[in-house]
Amino acid sequence: MKKTRQILYLIILIFSLNVSNVLAADNIKKYPAPDVEKRSYSTTITYDKYLYDSILNGLVNLKDKVDTSTYSKNSDEVFKVLEKVLDDHPEIFYFDYENCSFWSNGILELGYRGNKETINTMKQQLNNKVQSIIDGVVTQDMSELEKEMAIHDYIVLNTKYDEEALKGNISSELIFTSYGCLVNNLAVCDGYAKAMQLLLNKVGVYTIRVTGNGNGVSHAWNIVRINGKNYQVDATWNDPVPDSGYLRYKYFNMSDADIAKDHYWVKSDFPVCNDNSFKYLQKADYVVKDLDYIYYSNNEDDYNLYKMKIDGSNNQMLTEDRAVNLVYYNDYIYFSNYSDGGTLYKVKNDGTELEQILDNHVENLHYSDGYLTYYNEDLSKDEKMKLEQVTYEVEDKEKFNQVFSSYKNWGQAKEVPQNKIWKISFNRAVNAENLKDQVYVMDSSFNKVEDIDVNVNNGGKNITITKKDLYKRGGLYYLVISKPIKDVKGKEIKEPVVMRFKVY
């Protein structure tokens, strides 16, 4: 009897434990990710660093689940930190809120757009593009302002705003991402802002994304920190629609007071921007440049044509004509002259030699492969005009063969602009010692060009070759690697090579 009673107690105990487990499982609650309108971003929130790092690690490594139970089982806290991670890391373009949930036992389920193999391929594409852009437009000796401007200009000139999104036609969620902006060259404001944030932080310029409204519509832009001070910059609104391929600085490095005229954001959530040091740039529309000057239509002076240095000095009018659709080529600015019916004009970069070159109303001016392309309003068709030819120096072939008899020839001469910056990439780090004696430029007389800077960047894997002054127009030059470059371990990684280039 006693044994029977013990067995009965054991059965009751096991049953009780099973019931408890079922009840515990039933008490685990699922919390879907908050709707987009309920998400908010603030630079002032406090958060658990370990919780932040665990979520970041999960997203970077494409994990399906992250166990946050050690740090938090509070859904509001976890989703807030998730939002913080995503706002800090615009390179995480592949996350999908729709497939994201949090369980009250501390399990965060992560969602992604597409399969993981495709995402990893896209991640590599974005990484390659980011490095390519930085190598192409940024140099080590640039100031913070110059880096910001170079990246801002690249994004504005190479991104098309998806106008269909304004009509509610969303072609792809990628238009809201850095990938859409930098790889697909198609984005809306969120994509522009995330691309700015990604690139500028990569080159050491502190940048965050701001969310709010622009003229009453949901909008995103950036705050940057230049020389220790904060500024508002809106790359999207500096990319006029539908004027693709033009650049302006109307919304570049503004104070809170200035941008607040048509932008709204929760000011307490973001750094204060109260400096007006760059206000002089905001009058510049239809911007084109050379190494020394910014040329622009002055929106504060009836769109007359001006030029100024990047710091605002030497500001001067070039011509008292309403100049829009600017194109810069070989020391001349081509433009639609709205003081003369929108006809095609050109003027030299010092304000001389102003002349009409086509008595038709023209729009959409661009330079491409030696041609000025434009839309002829009078004839309702696209046209193009061959710009003046450059007479190049003639090579002394016999002397070339003598000087470079043991060199590998990189091929046919390339035509490059006067401010060309050469970049050479290696698959491993090079030894920077005596590099300037190994990498240099020679002129058509086979003399070494003196004012050349050779710099190593990207951890020693890239070399940039920059001429301090402009190359001579029409000049023939040789980019030379005179003897094998060695890596940091002393192993040779490049044979002697030479490449011709001509300057237009």
Using 50, 70 and 90 to split pLDDT, how confident is the model at 23?
Answer: very low
Closest to 218 in 3D by CA, of 239, 178, 240, 188: 188
Question: Which two three-digit tokens encode residue 213?
Answer: 């409204």
Q: Which residues contact 243 (CB under 8 A, 6 or more apart)?
A: 364
Q: Are 67 and 107 in contact (CB under 8 A)?
A: yes
Whether 94 contacts 113, CB under 8 Å: yes
Per-residue pLDDT at 429: 85
Is residue 162 over pLDDT 70? yes
Model confidence at 8, pLDDT cuts 50, 70, 90, reads: very low
Higher pLDDT pick, 171 / 305: 305
Is residue 87 over pLDDT 50? yes
Q: What integer best gives the mean pLDDT of the chain?
A: 89
Count the residues in the chain.
Answer: 504
- Whether the per-residue pLDDT at 321 is higher than 80: the answer is yes
Across residues 394-406, what is the average pLDDT?
92
Residue 457, pLDDT score: 85
Out of 1-5, 106-110, 260-264, 377-381, least confident range: 1-5
pLDDT digits (tens, 9 = 90+) for 449-473: 999 999 888 888 889 999 988 999 8
The whole-angstrom separation of Cα 37 and Cα 463 is 46
**Most confidently modeled of 296-310, 391-405, 451-465?**
296-310
- Band (pLDDT 50/70/90 cuts) for residue 212 is very high
* Residue 296 CA, distance from chain mean position: 22
Percent of the chain topping pLDDT 70: 91
Query: Could you tell me which CATH class the domain 397-503 is placed in?
Result: mainly beta
CB 303 within 8 A of CB 335: no
**pTM, 2 dp:** 0.76
DSSP notation for 312-337: STT-EEEEEEEEEEEEEETTEEEEEE
**Window from 160-174, 178-192, 388-402 with minimum mean pLDDT:** 160-174
Domain ranges of the chain: 24-109, 119-386, 397-503
Residue with tokens 């951890």: 459
- pLDDT over threshold 80, residue 177: yes
Among 164, 171, 196, CA closest to 181: 196
Average pLDDT, integer, range 172-194: 96
The pLDDT of 488-499, averaged and rounded, is: 81
Residue type, 35: D
Nearest to 363 by CA among 224, 242, 219: 242
SS3 of 338-400: the string is CCCCCEEEEEECCCCCCEEEEEEEEEEEEEECCEEEEEECCCCEEEEEECCCCCCCCCCHHHH
If phi over 0 gives left and psi between -120 and 50 gives alpha, with beta otherwise, what is residue 65? Answer: beta
Displacement of CA 265 from its chain's centroid (Å) = 23
